[in-house]
Structure 1
Amino acid sequence: MVKNKQLGLIAHDEWLAPYEDAIRGRHEHAVWKINQLTQNGKSSLSDFATGHLYYGLHKQGRGWVFREWAPNALDIYLIGDFSDWQEKEEFRCRHIPGTGDWELVIPAGKIKHKDLYKMKVHWRGGEGERIPAWATRVVQDENTKIFSAQVWNPRKKHTWHDAKFKPDTAPLLIYECHVGMAQDAEKVGTYKEFTEKILPRVKEDGYNCIQIMAIQEHPYYGSFGYHVSSFFAPSSRCGTPEELKELIDTAHKMGLAVIMDIVHSHAVKNEVEGLGNLCGDPNQFFYPGDRHEHPAWDSLCFDYGKDDVMHFLLSNCKYWLEEFHFDGFRFDGITSMLYYSHGLGEAFMNYGDYFNGHQDDNAICYLTLANKLIHEIKPHAITIAEDVSGMPGLAAKFEDGGYGFDYRLAMNVPDYWIKTIKEKKDEDWHPSSIFWEMTNRRADEKTISYAESHDQALVGDKTIIFRLIDADMYWHFSKDNRNGMVDRGIALHKMIRLVTASTINGGYLNFMGNEFGHPEWIDFPREGNGWSYKYARRQWHLVDDKNLCYHYLGDFDREMLATLKTVKNIQKQPVVEIWHNDGDQILAYSRGDLVFVFNFSPTQSFPDYGFLVPKGDYKVVLNTDAVEFGGNGLADDSVVHKTNFDPLYEKDGKEWLKIYIPARSAVVLRKNK
């Protein structure tokens, strides 16, 4: 960055000018750290992020080598099936002088594939069994529920077939999913089942990317994967590493990108399974004092100012990209990382709240370096920031003073829909407000828009379909037993999704099952529900049953995505407002050669509502009110709509398009070439 040149971030938003010194300071901090870690460019960030190739257990020649970073340890033994779980001299690690590292060379034949093992660590005043921080395979005993690392060296390694794969981001259409709950049966689903049963559904529905949750190993299934213990180990609940690789490879063959929900914002407090007290120093990986624990999440906060922690986390990014061929990451809990307060109790009312000295520059530096590294390794990688604060520059280019994410989640959108459904009567849904909320975003940052994600599906909250229909979902969702509440819910569910997806400037996201209005919340097995899997699954049989209304929503979702794809790079096309009238509750806008028209009125239909559009003939390509989508079919969609001449607008090349718009419906038209 040139010192005296105006930052691109500020060039796009002059209101950031008063904070140029702070923005520049954060950027220069990242540049300084990159230079430090790469010896002023003599190496690369990718060269630095190779901890997973050094630490952990690795096959070496005919034997093995094990290494661990444990600076506070006095002695370390590997114990396991191979030592009868006893400390034996032949499995005693040696300290590497001048470092915090320990090493053990294991001759051939001493350990074998699937052996269970742990470290037995001694420190001043204590000792304990620990799972190595860099373990790449961790399993849980079905009877004792105890977790152990596992020697993993299968005879048949996965052979990749995706060398030419490149994610399709024009636009990015994300299917957020959880492998364990992606099946009808009341159990934990497997990578294999997901590959065979779910990937074909995702492909058929028109999505081009899956975002997988809960990949990193976590002791408590009900944490949804957010309390991670082993950062380099794919969850063994769902199968083997090879089966996860097969899932990803198969997805790539289908043209589906695969991104991972990565958790670097905190770690589980568990000491036996996790990093909480690996070798007698609770602060080895984490901040000391008041910043040690997250006050709301009951977890530990990484110390991003330590080079060794930076090494651990950056290596983790590289590991998942190279070992499992993930196409990128959705970084969870960015807000918690950015602020000393973790964003708790913060209003974020003005720009000063982002530059008031309450931000963690170490975490900002880490996120910036993580993005640099990821795109250095995979130029076409996808990175998404989950931030509720609205921090400017998250998805702006590094060179412009940004943090380098490709996208940020438009978290205002689902909040808006929840608030609207909860607090406003149908007749008070104002198109001007809807359009503003869907399109209000920073000019230099791409977003992922969504009506709802897994957050809104969790027990204690409600999905959109449940907010609209509630208990009538259980009694009136068969085709021959619908009522007014169901009809309203089906209509608005489609309209909400269409206005959200058609106004994107980057991508669109949906959580699995929500596209067809899955009726149940998500509640993982826990003591309070008798450890039941009843609500930790997706009931695909509902959308497959043509006697029920679910397929209407699923069919519409598929056709909606197909319609959006007919406009090349629709996410880059300007959203041009044609008309809104809050009294009539009518909204119209165009993107490319498509015209989107919404009538949010619950009662008023309009037979000849007119808009000024470019002269031509217009054909209906999608109608939420179509019978095949559970609508009333009140309009004749086979009619070609010809514009009407008006001399007042002749010089603009515009004429009146007049169409019939039934109440509570939306239609998409295409201008004939």
Structure 2
Amino acid sequence: MKIKNAVVAHSLLSEHDIYLFREGSHTRLYDRFGAHATEKAGKAGFQFSVWAPNAEKVAVVGDFNDFQADSHLLHRRGDHSGIWEGFIAGPTLGDSYKFQITSRMGTQEKADPFARQSEEPPRSASRLCTLDYSWSDDEWMAKRRAINALDAPLSIYEVHLGSWRRIPEDGNRSLSYREMAHQLAAYVTEMGFTHVELMPVMEHPFYGSWGYQTTGYFAPTARYGTPEDFMFLIDTLHQAGIGVILDWVPSHFPADGHGLANFDGTCLYEHEDPRQGFHPDWKSSIFNLGRNEVRGFLMSSALFWLDKYHVDGLRVDAVASMLYLDYGRADGEWIPNEHGGRENLESMSFLRSLNEAVYRDHPDVQTMAEESTAWPMVSRPTYMGGLGFGMKWNMGWMNDTLKYFQQQPLFRKYQHDKLTFTIWYAFTENFVLPLSHDEVVHGKGSLIGKMPGDEWQQFANLRLLYGLMWAHPGKKLLFMGGELGQRREWQHDESLEWHVLQYPSHHGVQSWVKDLNRVYRQEKALHERDFSGDGFAWIDAQNWEESVISFLRYGKHRDDTVLVVCNFTPVPRHDYVVGAPRGGQWQEVLNSDATLYGGSGMGNLGQAEALPQAAHGHGHSLSLTVPPLSVMVFKPVPENRASS
């Protein structure tokens, strides 16, 4: 039955809201737009609001009116804001709905840009919900500022929810949010990671995009459950003492018909000119960040996940593609900025405003930029001229280090600078060292598959890679499966190769990552000064002939010191002399060649004594047995303990 004029003129938007919306500074638009349960004249229903300035009429169609055209027409506000709104009695929680938008280009049905829940793909309608969840993470929220601080240990386990674990007995389906909650919390706790980073959970139509082609900027994907189920997952992780970082994609969006593209019959959210509005690499649309209403939409999305879902950080995807107007484009395919340059001034302004809003309202979280170029001051405050991110992924370290490790050990001495150069810029940003999903897809193979040599050498190399990463200045990120040493390249429609843990070499890698995390968290020298040159000093960076490096890491107090020695060849080094900043006993706290990890068992019987024999500019030195393809970490034994 068609119901005409069943929409009551009503608004959640005040004049001040409209002012901030037009200004681009409204960071809580999700409280005003979309669908909100409310009551009018004693009748329960929902208030609907949508921005469609170029529409001729807008209706809400859904389960409550059998998706009949024009059943519930919204009212256009008279303030030239382009907002359509109204109250509809009758819809109930769980109902599906869309906005039916008529313009000069015809009529189309669009999902709600501010929907908090979506139908499970391939269905594409929005669903009415209230986010009714009772949190139990007060203890975590009270202490997370210290946990997320720049001087705290940050070891991130990157997870793709659909392929971490699957249930082969049930059609090889993915775990739901609730099924995953306790399993993931228990595993991450056992492994010693401090945080998980979830690849984009925002609703996306194509599963194979891994979430990076987002359509629902306020809705967790329905593939694994409801919004409340996703809250349960985060809550469970928090109660286990584990932080949650979400991947977030403000750089581009897909052209699916139900999404943001040509939303009101015009390029509303995207640029109209394809030289600005079409992404050639990903065949997607680019947000028009010169439009204030679009800036507010994206900033509200970022704040939404922090406000409503208690997340502890946002990793912002593809920042480089936002910063450069010529990203992925040939000459003539891009439009210079007003000064004739290739820098995207609108994106720079947006990112600064975003970070200012995040840290203003949530000073106990972090934002992280995936920025793959040498753009300066990405993780420096905006008042210093920076972009305002808390941290930045160190893609240079990742590329150089993996290129080095892919060399046969015999030829590594000719690539020695790839190991040592990273320190030259290690403190120019607050870096995260990433071994992410990007390194194990699209034919790149697994991490273990990149390692040269026979099977023993491959596993020794992988342990050495992880040991170097955990000892190197910078926070840590490892993609799931890397801790297993699985040989298969990551497949998004398959579970990780958990069965390989029955083999000693794979189990040894997992044990090694556990112990790396344990020592990394225990030893302040390995995390307190990750972003300061005062926290690092070379002992010997010049031994390219033997492919051995040694260095010191310092905490805020000089008593917190560790000494690291890495051997990148399969040749053991006996009586190898390393300078030491103090005499006495040094405990061998980590040795990747221990038999526990699948190594040969060479070492120094747990400790070595620094004698008053000068070396490498220090007054004392250690004479060590350095195992093949290994990393060792030593720390000084306190004098009272050494004498007992």
Q: Distance in 1 between matches of 2:523 and 2:123?
A: 53
Q: Does 1:211 align with 2:197?
A: yes
Provide the C-alpha distance between the structure 1 equivalents of 2:69 and 2:486, rounded to a whole number of angstroms: 52
For 1:298 and 1:114, the matched residues in 2 are separated by 33
Q: Which residue of 1 aligns with 2:595?
A: 627
Aligned residue number for residue 226 of structure 2:
240
Q: Give the C-alpha shift of residue 88 in structure 1.
A: 4.7
Q: Relative to structure 1, is the Cα distance of residues 508 and 38 closer, same or farther in structure 2, using a 3 angstrom cutoff?
A: farther
* 1:617 paired residue number: 585
Q: CA deviation at 1:586?
A: 1.4
Partner of 2:573: 606
SS in 1 for 2:563: strand
Identity of aligned residues (%): 25
1:658–1:53 distance in 2 versus 1, CA, 3 Å: same
Letter in 2 for 1:318: L
8 Å contact 1:283–1:292 — kept in the other structure? no
Deviation at 1:38, TM superposition (A): 11
For the Cα contact (< 8 Å) 1:412–1:437, is it kept in 2?
Answer: no
Question: 558, 567, 572: which one pairs with 2:523?
Answer: 567
Read off the aligned partner of 1:564 and give its amino acid letter: Y
1:138 aligned to which of 85, 110, 118: 118
- Alignment equivalent of 2:153, drawn from 157, 160, 171: 171
Counterpart pick for 2:396 among 412, 417, 425: 412
| Amino acid of the structure 1 residue aligned with 2:77 | I
Query: In the aligned structure 2, how far is the partner of 1:622 from the partner of 1:329?
Result: 32
Alignment size in residue pairs: 588
SS at match of 1:164: helix
Q: CA deviation at 1:552?
A: 0.5
Q: Quote how far apart the aligned CAs of 1:83 are.
A: 0.5
Task: Look up the match of 1:365.
Answer: 349
**Shift of residue 366 of structure 1?**
0.5
Partner residue, 1:518: 486
Match of 1:644 in 2: 611
How far apart are the structure 1 equivalents of 2:360 and 2:280?
35
Q: TM-score, normalised by structure 2?
A: 0.86
Cα contact 2:401–2:419 (8 A) shared by 1: no
Corresponding letter in the other structure for 2:126 = A
CA distance in 2, matches of 1:173, 1:441: 21
294-303 or 611-620, which deviates more? 611-620
Within 5 A, what are the aligned runs for 1:154-303? Answer: 157-162=133-138, 163-166=141-144, 168-169=147-148, 170-185=152-167, 186-272=172-258, 274-303=259-288
CA deviation vs aligned residue, 1:368-404 (integer Å, no higher than 9, x gap) = 1110011111101111111111100111111211011
Given that 1:184 and 1:540 are in contact with CA atoms closer than 8 Å, whether structure 2 keeps it comes out as no
Distance 1:130 1:488, change over 3 A: same
Q: 1:591 aligns with which of 553, 560, 583?
A: 553
Checking the alignment, whether the CA contact within 8 Å between 1:184 and 1:539 is kept in structure 2 is no
User: For residue 500 of structure 1, what is the aligned residue in structure 2?
Assistant: 469
How far is 1:159 from its partner? 3.0
**Structure 1 residues 295 and 52 mapped into 2: Cα distance closer, same or farther (>3 Å)?**
same
Within 1, Cα distance between the matches of 2:365 and 2:203? 23
1:309 & 1:585 partners in 2: Cα distance? 52
Residues of 2 paired with 1:86 and 1:610: CA distance?
A: 82
Contact 1:287-1:301 at 8 Å conserved across structures:
no
Distance, in Å, in 1 between the alignment partners of 2:392 and 2:186 is 28
For 2:442, the aligned partner's letter is: V
Q: 1:538/1:422 Cα in 2 relative to 1: closer, same or farther (>3 Å)?
A: same
Q: TM-score, normalised by structure 1?
A: 0.83
Corresponding position of 1:464: 447
Gaps of 5+ in 2: 1-15, 332-336, 555-560, 639-644
Q: Given residue 351 of structure 2, which amino acid in structure 1 is its aligned partner?
A: L
- Indicate how the Cα distance of structure 1 residues 254 and 426 shifts in structure 2: closer, same or farther if over 3 A, else same: farther
Aligned to 1:120: 100
Give the C-alpha shift of residue 576 in structure 1.
1.1
CA drift at 1:175: 0.9
- Deviation for aligned residue 1:160: 4.0
User: How far does residue 605 in structure 1 lie from its aligned partner after superposition?
Assistant: 1.9
Distance 2:462 2:361 in 1: 40
Q: Distance in 2 between matches of 1:75 and 1:130?
A: 13
Label 1:397 to 1:138 Cα distance change in 2 as closer, same or farther (>3 A): same
Higher relative contact order (CA 8 A, sep 6+): 1
Q: Partner amino acid for 1:157?
A: Y
Q: CA deviation at 1:518?
A: 2.0
Per mean C-alpha deviation after superposition, the further-off stretch among 410-419 and 130-139 is 410-419
User: What SS class does the counterpart of residue 162 from structure 2 fall into?
Assistant: helix
Once the two structures are overlaid, the 10-residue window that deviates more, 233-242 or 276-285, is: 276-285
The residue that corresponds to 1:7 in the other structure is: none
Match of 1:478 in 2: none
Distance 1:385 1:649, change over 3 A: closer
* AA matched with 1:239: G
* Equivalent pair of 1:46/1:376 in contact (CA under 8 Å): no
* Deviations, residues 18-63 of structure 1 (Å, cap 9, x unaligned): xxxxxxxxxxxxxxxxxxx9999x99x9972121000000011332
